[in-house]
Structure 1
Amino acid sequence: MPEPVAAPNTENTWTAPLSVHRVDAVVRVPGSKSITNRAYLLAGLSAGPTDVLAPLDSRDARLMLSALDALGGAHESIVDGVRISPIVTDSDGEVAVALGNAGTVARFTPALAGLGSRTVHFDGDEAIRRRPIAPLLRALADLGVDLDDGGRGAPPFTVRGHGGIPGGTVELDSSASSQFLSALLLAGPSFADGVTVRLVGGTPPSEPHIAMTLDLLRRFGAAPERDGTEFHVPPARLSLAGYTVEPDLSTAAPFVLAPALTGGTVRLEGWPAETTQPGDWLRSLLVELGQEVSLDEHGLTVTGTGHVRGAELDLHEVGELTPVVAALLCFADGPSTITGVAHLRGHETDRLAALATELSALGGEVTDTEDGLRITPAPLHGGVFHTYDDHRLVMAGAVLGLRVDGIVVENPATVGKTFPGFTSAWETMLRP
């Protein structure tokens, strides 16, 4: 279950606006967090500078930039982006990397520390100490990284760099997070012998994020190979002068789902015609729920009916969409189930328990199952919606507020993890 929460600080809340008109808006969301932090990391491992254009500017992205700087890299702001300089690996001494509650930083950067010659201490928010990482730390140790986690299998931990990582073949259980696998693949081109990862245990969640990692590796000049559950990345000299980040389609979720509850139309500018982002699944979901969807050179346009069908959804590959989808389904015309997302218990919070707790507290009939949620629509009422320092729960609270007056979202600033301007953009979308 989520940790108990104190009474909300009324100075740190946001009352989600009630929709009183059919929505009619054009929206652009920031760059993809997942793509931004992968691009930043690969740029740091490249032979020359890389201009990352239209990146996300958020807490997680800034934590990644700070981590790269601490590990021997450098960055500077340029028009519409950031220029990343390669990491210099021959410096010694001790440095610290602040993880915050950023899973990509906690999982992607320890291997980079092993490539250098510094002693690097990793730690972050209390929440990051509870997020799964032990299988990755074991795999890094097996590949030759000098790592001390005090037997915790979690932050804080220390990596002592010895100027490189041998690499080779390793077994990895990535069933708790596909980021474990991505971490090894992204660093693999810089290992002396590259890396071969053989997956054991269950299937990693979010296959699209694995595809995203492989795609970005290829764009930067690596040659990853996949044979079922075995992945191989040979040593490579990475280089890419410039890369433009797509809009974050998961962050777009509450905006493109809004017409389903309000009626009207929203156009999401910049929606790519082809993408590895899991958020692209929203197009098929909206059709399944009875909404009208079109994609052209201007972006994705959603025209909603104001009516939502109940559904049975397996969200294993798109688990990060669960909070906003669950909020939407509270207003469906019948019961719904969400399955395949047991791994969400190890995200920013136990998202399944948090959603069941908070939605039920507002009058909903929502229970968390072993791997998902069971939702039976019931009349909802206003009240405090606790967010457990989880950005996706802030977005879920916004969706609830479309239909329910008086939804008071606790700690809205936590949405700065992926979209610092979210509440302002949401209110702008709803203005007549």
Structure 2
Amino acid sequence: MTESAVHPAPWPAPYASGAVEATVTVPGSKSVTNRGLVLAALAAEPGWLRRPLRSRDTLLMADALRAMGVGIEETISSSSAAAGSMTPARGAGQSFTGEAWRIFPNGLHGPATVDVGNAGTVMRFLPPVATLADGPIHFDGDPRSYVRPLNGVIDALRALGARIDDEGRGSLPLTVHGGGALDGGTVEIDASSSSQFVSALLLSGPRFNQGVEVRHVGSTLPSLPHIRMTVDMLRRVGAQVDEPETGGEPNVWRVSPSAVLGRDLTVEPDLSNAQPFLAAALVTGGRVTVRDWPTRTTQPGDALRRIFTEMGGSCELTEQGLTFTGGGRIHGIDVDLSEVGELTPGIAAVAALADGPSTLRGVAHLRLHETDRLAALTKEINELGGDVTETADGLHIRPRPLHGGVFHTYEDHRMATAGSIIGLVVDGVEIENVGTTSKTLPDFPQMWTEMLAGAGA
């Protein structure tokens, strides 16, 4: 392999010569796709997953389930538009939408080896599933996955009766010695570093002999909308869930033992991945419509309507989707992002272009994501001339005139899209390893360039 193949040249971020005017189709939600795959794999009958995202994270999940014995067949139809399905973005082909996946839960078994890559959903959601397999399941992944928190899931599964060999690390690599069943019951965990610890146990909970009662005993609990998404999807496949949101005990979730029903599930567009496109309208004073924006959703990305409106835009939700219009000025914001931490990189990029300072709070847990996102954002924006400082739980951003330069991504897809937002209005920004966007948003460079066609870029 050549040196250029290992370290491709930085991607020149397109510069917008005018206001962006575009309509885009964002591929399906990674969070919904991977939860849907897990639930379908645990079901008592075959199911369908329609408009799924096909990206590195979701293909890792599908391949992992296949390795454990689940049948997954992909069907791609060129007639999807006529059938009312989401159509791909203009020029993007079929690369990120397998029109439907048919899932056959054939029984879980080992031995098998699972590559989690650097996907939090795969490394956390599948060890509980592996306890239900007949045989050992070995988990490994990218080097960064070794330092991402996993102890909450490992310790909880051991307390519920699982046998796991991790050589005392509390992290990857590890082997789950599945016994075909798990007792389940009540367990206390500290999920302050990741809400995925809670979701991981809840998703497999219906299949545990006693169900599961998860009690969060830590201080804060980030990304609550993702737990609400898990609960909503569990109920859609027939599970009985008691939760704080519906009058239950605070920080306690109970899932009763039951069969999981095979369903026909349609995946919503990924609203967090819509962020850079909405931001394009905000920072250029343009207008962007994201097709098929749901009127009701548990996705954290829906908060963008409120946050970006406070930063100077306006939005309208119609049957066609969400149309966001920039107001010509970008305002600073003081905002608690604890429930929507994944939106922080894009919001930080917009805040660096605002007319006043911003404080982003409640996101200390981002130091343990794909990279240390707080340190990475601080370093990269400051190297373009910005003035960003880390706080105990977030960032303080003071706008400064920015200049071009290389924006490093640290193999983090949201760093790549954040740098691209800045590059819209700062000439000469280059994105190192823009290909990392394949984690959740394949074809991002092409989608981004085509969005700018209306702005004369």
Q: TM-score, normalised by structure 1?
A: 0.96
Q: 1:260 aligns with which of 266, 282, 307?
A: 282
Runs of 4+ in 1 over 6 A off after TM superposition: 6-10
1:145 aligns with 2:139: no
> Structure 1 counterpart of 2:138, which letter?
H
Q: 1:249 aligns with which of 261, 265, 271?
A: 271
Moved more, 10-19 or 300-309: 10-19
8 A Cα contact 1:263 1:306, kept in partner: yes
Residue in 2 that maps onto 1:59? 56
Instruction: Show CA shifts across 1:19-67 (max 9, x none).
Output: 1021110001110000000000000000111110001000000000011
Residue in 2 that maps onto 1:82? 101
Residue in 2 that maps onto 1:154? 171
Residue in 1 that maps onto 2:153? 136
Distance 1:325 1:95, change over 3 A: same
Residue in 1 that maps onto 2:430? 408
Residue in 1 that maps onto 2:310? 288
1:381 aligns with 2:378: no
Residue in 2 that maps onto 1:96? 113
> Structure 2 counterpart of 1:134, which letter?
N
**Runs of 5+ consecutive residues of structure 2 not aligned to the other structure:** 77-98
Q: 2:366 aligns with which of 344, 367, 372?
A: 344
> Structure 2 counterpart of 1:211, which letter?
R
Instruction: Show CA shifts across 1:381-429 (max 9, x none).
Output: 1111000000000100110101111111001111000011111101101
Secondary structure of 1:348's counterpart equals coil
What is the CA-CA distance between 1:230 and the residue it aligns to?
Answer: 1.1
1:370 aligns with 2:397: no
What is the CA-CA distance between 1:9 and the residue it aligns to?
Answer: 7.3
Secondary structure of 1:366's counterpart equals strand
Secondary structure of 2:213's counterpart equals strand
What is the CA-CA distance between 1:11 and the residue it aligns to?
Answer: 3.0
Percent of paired sites with the same residue: 52
Residue in 1 that maps onto 2:81? none
Residue in 2 that maps onto 1:165? 182
Mapped partners of 1:148, 1:9: distance in 2: 33
Residue in 2 that maps onto 1:23? 20
Mapped partners of 1:12, 1:49: distance in 2: 45
Mapped partners of 2:173, 2:311: distance in 1: 44
Distance 1:87 1:201, change over 3 A: farther
Secondary structure of 1:360's counterpart equals helix
Secondary structure of 1:185's counterpart equals helix
Residue in 1 that maps onto 2:126? 109
> Structure 1 counterpart of 2:28, which letter?
G
Residue in 2 that maps onto 1:3? none
What is the CA-CA distance between 1:240 and the residue it aligns to?
Answer: 3.0
Mapped partners of 2:152, 2:289: distance in 1: 41
Mapped partners of 1:127, 1:9: distance in 2: 17
Mapped partners of 2:451, 2:329: distance in 1: 19
* 1:384-399 alignment runs, 5 A limit: 384-399=406-421
Q: 1:310 aligns with which of 321, 328, 332?
A: 332
Residue in 2 that maps onto 1:212? 229
Mapped partners of 2:157, 2:257: distance in 1: 17
Mapped partners of 2:405, 2:396: distance in 1: 21
**Runs of 5+ consecutive residues of structure 1 not aligned to the other structure:** 1-5
What is the CA-CA distance between 1:176 and the residue it aligns to?
Answer: 0.4
8 A Cα contact 2:40 2:263, kept in partner: no
Secondary structure of 1:283's counterpart equals helix
Q: 2:357 aligns with which of 335, 340, 350?
A: 335
Residue in 2 that maps onto 1:32? 29
Secondary structure of 1:109's counterpart equals helix
Q: TM-score, normalised by structure 2?
A: 0.91
Mapped partners of 2:305, 2:343: distance in 1: 13
Distance 1:73 1:408, change over 3 A: same
Secondary structure of 1:161's counterpart equals strand
What is the CA-CA distance between 1:71 and the residue it aligns to?
Answer: 1.4
Mapped partners of 2:15, 2:198: distance in 1: 42
Distance 1:87 1:132, change over 3 A: farther
8 A Cα contact 1:68 1:87, kept in partner: no
Secondary structure of 1:414's counterpart equals helix
Instruction: Show CA shifts across 1:2-21 (max 9, x none).
Output: xxxx9997734211101102
> Structure 1 counterpart of 2:105, which letter?
P
Mapped partners of 1:422, 1:81: distance in 2: 22
Mapped partners of 1:364, 1:391: distance in 2: 21
8 A Cα contact 1:71 1:112, kept in partner: no
What RMSD, in angstroms, separates the aligned Cα atoms of the two structures? 1.4
Secondary structure of 1:47's counterpart equals coil
Mapped partners of 2:263, 2:216: distance in 1: 33
Mapped partners of 1:302, 1:112: distance in 2: 40
Mapped partners of 1:246, 1:320: distance in 2: 17
* 1:267-278 alignment runs, 5 A limit: 267-278=289-300
8 A Cα contact 1:50 1:241, kept in partner: yes
Distance 1:149 1:379, change over 3 A: same
8 A Cα contact 1:176 1:343, kept in partner: yes
Secondary structure of 1:413's counterpart equals helix
Q: 1:44 aligns with which of 37, 41, 50?
A: 41
Residue in 2 that maps onto 1:425? 447
8 A Cα contact 1:107 1:180, kept in partner: yes
Secondary structure of 2:32's counterpart equals helix
Instruction: Show CA shifts across 1:226-283 (max 9, x none).
Output: 1221110011111133100000000000101111111121000010000000000000
Mapped partners of 1:196, 1:215: distance in 2: 17
Mapped partners of 2:185, 2:334: distance in 1: 42
